[in-house]
Amino acid sequence: DTGVSQDPRHKITKRGQNVTFRCDPISEHNRLYWYRQTLGQGPEFLTYFQNEAQLEKSRLLSDRFSAERPKGSFSTLEIQRTEQGDSAMYLCASSFMADPDQPQHFGDGTRLSIL
């Protein structure tokens, strides 16, 4: 399977704990995006990378959220000191940078539940 893969699929944790999610993009894609989606809403942009560089981070993203893409391939999203409001589906997408922009391919997401 050469699609975008995310791990884990589900994560249940207690409030205050730290969690880390992993995303493996399509291998030739140099752009990687993180989104958060709650029920009935569209994907909310969090951040994106071009290769290993984090080019944009949403102003809505608190300092508890951090993302990395150290080698320009897989990426991790960490949430520190989780809160109830962090419960959501976290989606990763990847694309190939070109002109015009190329479509994003989404993974199945990681569903986070905060107890």
Interface residues with another protein (CB under 8 A)?
A: 33, 35, 40-45, 48, 56, 91, 93, 100-101, 103-109
Shortest reach from residue 103's CB to another protein, in Å: 4
Q: Which is nearer to another protein, 21 or 35 (CB)?
A: 35
Structure token digits, residue 62: 């608190």
Q: Which is nearer to another protein, 80 or 106 (CB)?
A: 106
Shortest reach from residue 33's CB to another protein, in Å: 6
- CB atoms near residue 29 (< 10 Å): 17
- CB atoms near residue 91 (< 10 Å): 22
Pairing of strands 31-37, 44-50: antiparallel
